Amino acid sequence: MAFKALGELLDETLTLPVKDKTYTVPPPSAATGLRVQAIMQAAAVAADGGAVDEAVLKDAAERDMYRDVLGTAHAEMVADNVPWPTLKHCAVTAMVWIVQNKEAAERYWNAGGDPSRLAPNRKARRSSSAAAKSTQSRGSTSTTNTRPATGHGGKKRKPRK
């Protein structure tokens, strides 16, 4: 079996359209990817009320995370005077890409970073799931029981000898 080069199999860049220009974010280094994973995990734990790993967050504060996750696109954006909220949105989108995948990054991008814009899909899934749970099957509404009553809470008695 011949293996293909990994670069042939994976699209290792992220493209972000900002106004009339498209920025290409290169893949992060292994160290950046691992650091982003650790920071996102620490943030999720903190959001759930768990203990925060101070070392991980201190490491994030000491480094320019946005520059690291955007790679060469960061310098381009700064040179193009991209507004801070736009640069921040691009960087967080890149973080979602690093931690999850391109589909998740695209959903985050298209929602403008607003979690409530992502909610309708979850809400629709939840409501359809709740509707499915609340809809009884035809058999569950019937009062006819085809199993004989045992009088013992459904447990079989051991035969007497």
15-70 pLDDT, tens per residue? Answer: 999 999 999 999 999 999 998 998 888 888 877 787 777 777 666 665 688 999 99
Question: Which amino acid, one-letter code, is at 158?
Answer: K
Q: What is the pTM of this model?
A: 0.64
CA-CA distance, 81 to 88, in Å (whole number)?
13
Cα separation, 37 vs 156, in Å, equals 54
What SS3 class is residue 112?
Answer: coil
